[in-house]
């Protein structure tokens, strides 16, 4: 691929993310929250895309890695004296360790990556429906353990006193880092080999590509990035264990599907589009004036709309908004000489 095309492939998503970040600087405090959420969503959805988009294998489990990142960053960031308030039963080494912002993000990423690698070791042999069900089971197990195992976190309590270091700048930088990482991966030899297995598994195998290994590598990277996104999230808003379970799995999957599962551009567009839609609907739920009329949607309409759009996209335009393709310039056709 010529470097011009490649540059555009990266530039599109980067521009969109940076643009969102810049735009967010000009809005009010309350509106800024939507922007930060949107940017963290980009990081999360791109992390999921790194595996699902490149391998063509469904995964319901990525929010487990996100959750694990939340836990790791959260538990280690809460100041020592605050820990017993919500997390009285922690392991000693956890209760006595406190790290700063950036280290907590790195640890979150590392934990996410290692967890994903361990989960992937057995699971990457599966495809299709079985992969979907197995990863859903992983999600269930993770949620169950995080919910009740109080030695590693707050269990059912809400995380509180986590330093709120994810502001607009950190969210933007974080999202950009994830986008660049995803781009670097998909352009690398590893990424290309994995994409080959998606298009034509038999041919890929014939030229010596190990489907299992490529998927495992991608899954681990994907978990690493998802863990990182989780770290970003917990530094933004206090959450509890149910906030990183089915609802979040649904909305991030919806973002990927609506944007276009098989491209980075699709992942970014999907995340931003659905976040924007979600924010507008949230405003309408609070009572919004549009063109002189007040719109007051009942609370909870948001998921109705998003799920309806997701189902519609799957039925009518399975490639999503972007058709699953990267951003590219329309080709100029040479004039045909007669």
Partner 1 sequence: MSDFLRDALDLQVQVDAIGLGAIFALMAVGIGLVFGVMRLVNFAYGQLIMAGAFALAFASDRDWPVGVGIALCFAVVLALSLAMERVVFRPLRTQSAAVMLVATFAVAFLLQSIALLWFGPLGKTATSLVQLNRPVSVGSVDIRKITVVAIVTAAVCLVLLVALLNRTSIGLHMRAAAIDSQTARLLGVRANLVSTVSVLIAGVLAAVVAVMLTVQFPTVTPTFALQETILVLAGVVVGGMTRLLSATLGGFLIGYVSGLLGGALPSSQSQYLPSFVFGLVILVLLLRPDGLFTRGRGLVERV
List residues near partner 1 by CB under 8 A.
57-58, 60, 122-134, 137-138, 140-141, 144-145, 148, 201, 211-212, 215, 250, 253-254, 257, 298-304, 307-308, 310-311, 314-315, 318
Residue with tokens 């980075």: 264
First to last CA, the chain: 30
- Which 3 state secondary structure label does DSSP give 177? helix
CB of 17 to partner 1, least distance (A): 25
Tokens at residue 170, please? 């950190």
Question: Minimum distance between the CB of residue 156 and partner 1, rounded to whole angstroms?
Answer: 11
Task: Decide whether 77 or 252 has the Cβ nearer to partner 1.
Answer: 252
Looking at 1-61, list the stretches that DSSP marks H as alpha helix, in order from N- to C-terminal side: 3-24, 29-55
In angstroms, rounded to a whole number, what is the distance separating the alpha carbons of residues 182 and 50?
6
Ramachandran category for residue 165: left, alpha or beta (phi over 0 → left; psi -120 to 50 → alpha): alpha
CB of 199 to partner 1, least distance (A): 14
As measured in angstroms, the least distance from the Cβ of 191 to partner 1 is: 18
- Which SS3 state, helix, strand or coil, does residue 289 take? strand
At 290 the three-state DSSP class reads strand
Q: At what angle do helices 29-55 and 3-24 cross, to 10 degrees?
A: 150
Q: Work out how close the CB of 71 gets to partner 1 at its nearest, in angstroms, rounded to a whole number.
A: 16
Q: For residues 141 and 290, which CB has a smaller minimum distance to partner 1 in the complex?
A: 141
Nearest to partner 1 of 99, 126 (CB atom)? 126
Nearer CB in complex with partner 1: 14/305: 305
Name the residue nearer to partner 1 (CB basis): 116 or 124: 124
Residue among 108 and 253 whose Cβ is closer to partner 1? 253
Q: Which of 44, 108, 71, 69 is closest to 253 using CA atoms?
A: 44
CB of 7 to partner 1, least distance (A): 32
């Amino acid at each position: 691929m010529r470097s011009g095309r490649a540059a555009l492939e990266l530039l599109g998503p980067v521009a969109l993310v940076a643009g969102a970040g810049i735009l967010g600087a000009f809005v009010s405090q309350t509106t800024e929250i939507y922007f930060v959420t949107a940017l963290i969503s980009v990081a999360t959805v791109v992390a999921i895309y790194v595996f699902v988009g490149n391998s063509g294998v469904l995964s319901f489990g990525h929010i487990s890695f996100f959750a694990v990142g939340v836990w790791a960053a959260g538990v280690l960031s809460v100041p020592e004296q605050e820990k017993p308030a919500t997390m009285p039963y922690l392991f000693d080494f956890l209760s006595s360790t406190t790290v700063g912002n950036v280290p907590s993000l790195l640890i979150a990423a590392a934990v996410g990556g290692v967890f994903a690698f361990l989960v992937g070791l057995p699971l990457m042999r599966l495809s299709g429906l079985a992969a979907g069900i197995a990863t859903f089971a992983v999600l269930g197990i993770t949620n169950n353990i995080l919910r009740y195992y109080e030695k590693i976190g707050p269990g059912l309590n809400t995380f509180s006193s986590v330093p709120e270091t994810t502001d607009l700048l950190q969210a933007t930088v974080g999202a950009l880092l994830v986008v660049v990482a995803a781009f670097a991966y998909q352009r690398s030899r590893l990424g290309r080999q994995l994409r080959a297995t998606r298009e034509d598994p038999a041919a890929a195998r014939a030229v010596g590509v190990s489907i299992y290994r490529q998927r495992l590598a991608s899954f681990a990277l994907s978990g690493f990035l998802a863990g990182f996104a989780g770290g970003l999230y917990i530094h933004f808003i206090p959450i509890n264990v149910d906030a990183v379970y089915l609802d979040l799995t649904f909305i991030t999957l919806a973002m990927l599907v609506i944007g276009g599962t098989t491209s980075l551009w699709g992942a970014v567009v999907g995340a931003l589009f659905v976040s924007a839609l979600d924010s507008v609907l949230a405003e309408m739920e609070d009572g919004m004036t549009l063109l002189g009329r007040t719109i007051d949607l009942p609370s909870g309409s948001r998921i109705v709309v998003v799920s309806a759009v997701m189902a519609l996209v799957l039925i009518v335009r399975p490639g999503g908004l972007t058709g699953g393709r990267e951003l590219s310039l329309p080709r100029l056709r040479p004039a045909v000489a007669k």
